[in-house]
Amino acid sequence: MLFLFLYSPLKGQLNLNYQINGDAINSMLGLKVEISGDGNRVAFTHIGSNQQVPNMVSVYENTGSAWTQIGSPLEFENVQLFGERDLDIALSEDGNKLIVGVMTSEIANLAGEVTVFEYENEEWTPIGETFYGENVEDFLGSSVDISADGNRIAFGIGGKDELAEDVGQVKVFDLVEESWIQVGNTLTGEIEGESMGLAVSLSPSGNHIAVGSPNHRPAPAGSNGATRIFEFSEDVWSQKRSTIGPVSVSGRNGNEVFLVQGGDLVVVGTPVALGGSYKSMYYFDDGWVSNIYNSFPAPNPLIEGNFYENWSEFGNSISGSIDGNRIISGSPNETSGEGNVYIFERTGNVYEFLDIEFEGIMDHDAFGEAVSMSADGNRIAIGVPGKDTDGLENNGQVLIYDFLPTSTEESDSNNSIKVYPNPTTGLVFIEGDLADVQIISVINSLGQIVKTNFGGNQIDLSDLAKGMYFISVGTKDKTVVQSIIRM
């Protein structure tokens, strides 16, 4: 199957659900943002204004009417070496487990560290041991990810010297009786300086992993970057299909990666290429045939489209729904640092650009420096680390938006599914042309996701208030929506 990428009008309304402002000058809240799979928790970073003030990670939870901080902010050493790369974070599907990578930890001279936390007794408590780099400038924790159930983690060691200098490594661990046990073989880069592991993305099941090596360069004058997909089988991580290489010089292919459930669709970010002239994301489908768009919607990798500017860093941060039907990318340096965010939606074998205008973007906001999307694609979080609010400079901001279906284009106008009984007092059953159902979501009239079920053909609304809701059913190929009345 070959995916096409087209421009189309917005199919659904994007509503601002909540905003969180930084509380200190230069805290740059939102350099990293991660939303849980169920969309009900969001984690984000905020940095210290100097090395005496720690970097922090905070987590907020959706209470239905507002978002409230849960637990105390987690504090980490502030080296101020790489800015947004100093910390990386990821949440489990329910948001109850949080992994934090601190690649610039000076406990062992920039060796780096990774810790996993669990929310219990109203605080974030470390689970198992903390991982530390073994050597100076290992940069362990340069990227981190966690499976949907929170029991498998992966992290990159971007500066690891193994076969050669800075080849990089990736390791995967399982939680077994409160200890982390390595799963399978260590993944190691092939070429000096490739920095394998500067980006990692686990599939929700944890059985596939995408690994970015943005500094991979086979020849001195060759192109930059490589992305590899690995599959776990019989206690071994084996590469799945061929390596995804760049199409332009200095492309930094694999600077960011996002892997869909099953490992059959991967999105690869290349935010800088050819001196900033081309910004791109690459989509590879289950046949591993690539349809590459540099600066959408131009279907030629050497033609610049009319949406993005030089040095916009489009593809700097990417995320998507569990089924790959909705993809989001940040473009934080667009319009001289104002930034922007782009969302694409798949209908059949076509990806369409959703024409969304975000309001209130100002100079140096870096809107879209970080983006994250819930598993069903109906809630997004956007980091705006350069935002000035409440009379403070560069204190930063995190914005949370919800999708609310508003047109028959997104609704199930062809009656391909049946939702019954409708009205209902509780349990709802779903039947119809829905092979491989991956996610069922319930959305209220405000566009808020109030319930999620992964797989299956039913969902219980008995604990929800009476009123009208939308049932969103996502499969590998499409997402359909129907309204329902809870009596």
Look up the CATH number of the domain holding residue 120: 2.130.10.130
Which carries the bigger pLDDT value, residue 80 or residue 265? 265
Q: Quote the pLDDT of residue 478.
A: 67
Q: Which among 368, 188, 355 is positioned nearest to 269, based on CA atoms? A: 368
Single out the residue of 147, 118, 113 nearest to residue 130, CA to CA: 113
Which of these, 11, 33, 39, 64, lies nearest to 376 by C-alpha position?
39
425 and 284 assigned to the same domain: no
- Residue 89 forms part of a structural domain: yes
pLDDT in tens, 42-77: 999 998 766 667 889 999 999 877 899 999 999 987
Same domain for 346 and 435, yes or no, is no
Residue 408 lies in a domain: no
Looking at the predicted structure, is the pLDDT value of residue 479 above 80?
no
Residue 409 lies inside a defined structural domain of this protein? no
| Residues 187, 102 within the same domain | yes
284 within a domain of the structure (yes/no): yes
Q: Same structural domain for residues 316 and 440?
A: no
SS (H, E, C) 324-337: CCEEEEEECCHHHH
Indicate whether 100 belongs to any domain: yes
What pLDDT was estimated at residue 337? 86
Instruction: Estimate to the nearest angstrom the gap between the alpha carbon of 369 and the chain centroid.
Output: 12
Judgement on whether residues 192 and 292 belong to the same structural domain of the protein: yes
Q: Identify the domain boundary among 403, 436, 457.
A: 403
CATH, residue 424: 2.60.40.3080
Domain count within the chain = 2
Domain of residue 436: give its range.
Answer: 417-486
Asked if the structure places residue 411 within a domain, the reply is no
Residues 421 and 399 both lie in one domain: no
Instruction: Classify residue 147: in a domain, yes or no.
Output: yes
Identify the burial level of 243 via C-beta atoms within 10 angstroms of its C-beta, where 0-12 means exposed, 13-18 middle and 19 or more buried: middle
Same structural domain, 318 and 425: no
pTM: 0.79
pLDDT digits (tens, 9 = 90+) for 206-241: 999 999 888 877 665 555 788 889 999 999 999 987
393 and 430 together in one domain: no
Report how far residue 121's alpha carbon sits from residue 474's, in angstroms, rounded to the nearest whole number: 34
> What are the distances in angstroms from CA 436 to CA 63, 263, 323, 461?
31, 15, 10, 22
pLDDT tens-digit readout, 370-386: 999 998 888 999 999 99
Q: Give mean pLDDT, residues 17-21.
A: 92
Does 410 fall in a domain? no
Show the DSSP H helices in 34-175 as ranges.
none
pLDDT of residue 107: 56
What distances in angstroms separate CA 9 from CA 12, 343, 347, 407, 470, one per listed residue? 9, 12, 13, 11, 21
252 and 354 assigned to the same domain: yes
Average of per-residue pLDDT values in the chain: 79
> Do 147 and 216 belong together in one domain?
yes
14 and 111 both lie in a single domain? yes
308 with 370, same domain: the answer is yes
Look at residues 403, 432, 452 and tell me which one is the last residue of a structural domain: 403
**Contact yes or no for 305/297 (Cβ under 8 A):** yes
